[in-house]
Chains A and B, each alone.
Chain A
């Protein structure tokens, strides 16, 4: 059995400990915001934060996560108001929307971690996440907008 904290709540799973976190979240916990796209860490649709770090839930066996803090798209912010979520809506980034939970989680980790975000950073980090609809130009713009909003917040906090 493994105990972990998901979106601030203590949860446990006593099934097959090899079960990827993805299927524990989706099938066992009912948290379907985290998506299945490939099962081999090749598309990023399953991106969640494990102890703050963006991670592929589809290849992470739940058994190694004892005590870990997991954040999924459902728990990224209280009211959907993380700067990345706001920028995504502001720029109408989504098309079908399916990959966007993973994109948002990846982008949130990026802008939370760095004060400035360059095109090269975006290429390096966001290339982990596939989008078949082709929303990349708007993802790029939204990451920049969110980063600017975030650093504005940081500046405001510093003053």
Chain B
């Protein structure tokens, strides 16, 4: 039985009904005019404000023939501005050199859903945007046929012009644009989409990024780059402990600095804090340096509040205790785990720890807000511009119509910029300056110390093997604070969408499975971080699979394939996963054949099974997430306790390819982010305070730690454009870490169960 009320939890969907503290999730609820007994909606249909395919929204053609595609998804490095333009231009029959891209502001009534998260821009909008392109192409043909007085069936649009074979006439798109755009948009079911064999851009490798020239010449505009006439610059001193507030403030030294204009207190956030600013003290000045200097001069005593005792080491112990205790909420129960475990020939146990992480996009959060004549305008690097608009309007006491959110390029997002708290800060400060434009910049320390952190978790795994080494019983206990804690009084249990990230829906064939979720309270803001709960789940499950292989005396890859079992399609709802990334389980079942295929491809790519010299080893891991299948095989070298990852092979099956070069670049980037998580990256807390603050302590890989060789293998039916697409931006990351730590085991016989490795291998 599928539960439609919780089927489609999107990141944004959490917002809808949670304000009142009730865990009602907006998008699963019936829409006005829909009867409750109707079939539940999935995928793009279930997203807030849905999708659009109207060419008049997305395509403009100028008299000179320039085609401007409006991109309603936010660019943060995944290449979406290029990919969306490729889709539209291909169906339109446009010449790439005459295509430009403009960025839509936050306006979901016009553009449909704009939340750029969950690895779903192309998954959800590929078909609507193809239709938009095809519709515009049809309208150009109709306009030309009308002008020539011939049947529309006799003309053909391609190569930026419409031609009539009979007469040899042709007209350029620019010449037809005005007439074509005056026509009615043809009915959806009347459109003829291109046959994939005719694609010129979709699925091709030859397309350069639309922003390449601007990026390489410094001509781009990120949120932090926006400039307005008369603009002031601000930074904020935030409470060092989550939920703290100002006890006393002496701002005289700050105000004495020439160029510091004003000091403004921002109210502390109330629990649940959702996207509200944390509060604190803002310094507004004539430039960023003076604002920072002013902030340094503030004398603030803080009242730390309820999280002042938060200590990562003590918290890890409490999670461990919870994960080693009976009585956690049972979230999956198949077969008879207890009986099978009792009858096992061998029992294997392992406990894994994954620390908090900060997204740390290279562009820290930054935004400009200006308020004029009762209207606010923001320029910001946000993943969710419509949510930004709604929250900004609420905070400033304006109507939605009186707020415009312009989206800049995002200098990285990784989930941090799904939360518009920093835009609200800019809005509050503009209001405090009578509407003058204020640029609010987060310093790196702000970003690392006051983030929306990736959760911290203990995953306790127990398995029973039979006399042949086959896994016959599997128990997974997951203890981690939930993202739900920022939206409602802390439920202390993971939400269905978190459990559906690779824990409940793992593609393994084991007869007796139990999964439990003991309680865990949050003490910092927990937020989305690229791949989210898949990170701890994949680390635990794929490390444990390798540990079981070792216990059974088997090759790790062979044993993993055995655990995956025969090729079959699993309905995730039968695994207790009612979410399924918001997608219809009939359309997107968990496909173990595809899982096994990427494991084989990753293994082949690293030449699995070759003899390794002393101190070197190979490891492998596979993980299903965002309805895509990824496996990673890593080679490591351990010298004096230092781990190097010279070579990685990563294989992805994400269905058909729109922009294969960007699939590859996402896999490359995922590998390197994963190298960091395996080796060095963590945020921990003492006395409620983050112990890292900048890139000298919050460590991410540099060139010298990046693998010299990363081979990306695109697996599966890359031309099945009639079948649904999988995600790309996130699914590469989860299997990277366990592949590396499994390789470390192969190299050293030391099992890493606690991330990051840091100095654990130094003797």
Contacts and interface: CB of A to CB of B under 8 A. Distances in A.
Interface of A: 15-16, 18-20, 23, 26-28, 30-40, 42-43, 45, 72-74, 76, 80, 85, 88-89, 92, 94-101, 104, 119, 122-124, 126-140
B443 interface: yes
Nearest to A87: B216
A130 B212 contact: no
B467 to A, nearest CB: 45
Interface stretch (B73-81, B421-429, B555-563, B609-617): B73-81
Interface stretch (B159-167, B384-392, B408-416): B408-416
B444 A38 contact: yes
Interface string B609-647: 000000000000000000000000000000000000000
B146 to A, nearest CB: 41
A120 to B, nearest CB: 9
A134 B208 contact: no
Nearest to B205: A92
Nearest to B444: A38
B362 A45 contact: yes
Contacts of A128: 702
A133 B77 contact: yes
Max chain B CB contacts within 10 Å: which of A45, A88, A94, A124?
A: A94
Contact of A96 (B219, B292, B362, B708): B362
Interface string B202-243: 000000110111111111111011010000010000000000
Contacts of B215: 88, 94, 97, 100-101
A27 to B, nearest CB: 4
A23 B516 CA distance: 52
Given A37-B362, A138-B665, A139-B703, 20 more contacts: A15-B287, A18-B289, A19-B287, A23-B287, A32-B221, A32-B225, A36-B364, A74-B217, A74-B218, A96-B76, A96-B412, A97-B211, A97-B409, A98-B361, A99-B362, A132-B360, A134-B669, A134-B671, A135-B665, A136-B701
B218 A36 contact: no
A81 B150 CA distance: 48
A85 B217 contact: yes
A62 B283 CA distance: 22
Contact of A134 (B360, B361, B409, B706): B706
B745 to A, nearest CB: 24
A119 B708 contact: yes
A73 to B, nearest CB: 3
Nearest to A89: B212
28 contacts: A15-B287, A19-B287, A20-B289, A23-B289, A33-B220, A35-B411, A36-B224, A36-B288, A37-B363, A38-B695, A40-B695, A45-B362, A73-B218, A80-B216, A89-B209, A92-B209, A96-B409, A97-B211, A98-B409, A119-B708, A126-B702, A133-B362, A133-B669, A134-B669, A134-B671, A134-B706, A136-B703, A137-B707
Contacts of B361: 96, 98, 132
A95 B669 contact: yes
Q: Top 6 closest A-B pairs, CB basis?
A: A33-B218, A98-B411, A134-B672, A96-B77, A95-B77, A134-B669
Nearest to A125: B703
B290 A138 contact: no
B289 A19 contact: yes
B76 A30 contact: no
For the complex, would chain A's binding face be called helix, strand, loop or mixed by DSSP majority?
A: loop
Contacts of A36: 224, 288, 364, 441
Contacts, number: 192
B60 to A, nearest CB: 25
B443 A16 contact: no
A45 B361 CA distance: 12
B665 A127 contact: no
Interface in B347-377: 360-364
Given A23-B288, A92-B665, A123-B703, A131 B218 contact: no
B69 interface: no
Contacts of B444: 37-40, 43
A107 B61 CA distance: 39
Contacts of B258: 16
Max chain B CB contacts within 10 Å: which of A19, A36, A99?
A: A36
Contacts of B411: 35, 96-99
B209 A134 contact: no
B189 interface: no
Contacts of A94: 77, 209, 211-212, 215-216
A136 B706 contact: yes
Given A38-B695, A98-B222, A127 B410 contact: no
Given A27-B288, A127-B702, A132-B412, A89 B208 contact: yes
B274 to A, nearest CB: 25
A131 B665 contact: no
Max chain B CB contacts within 10 Å: which of A73, A101, A137?
A: A137
Nearest to A131: B362
Max chain A CB contacts within 10 Å: which of B78, B213, B703?
A: B703
Contact of A42 (B666, B668, B694): B694
Interface string B141-183: 0000000000000000000000000000000000000000000
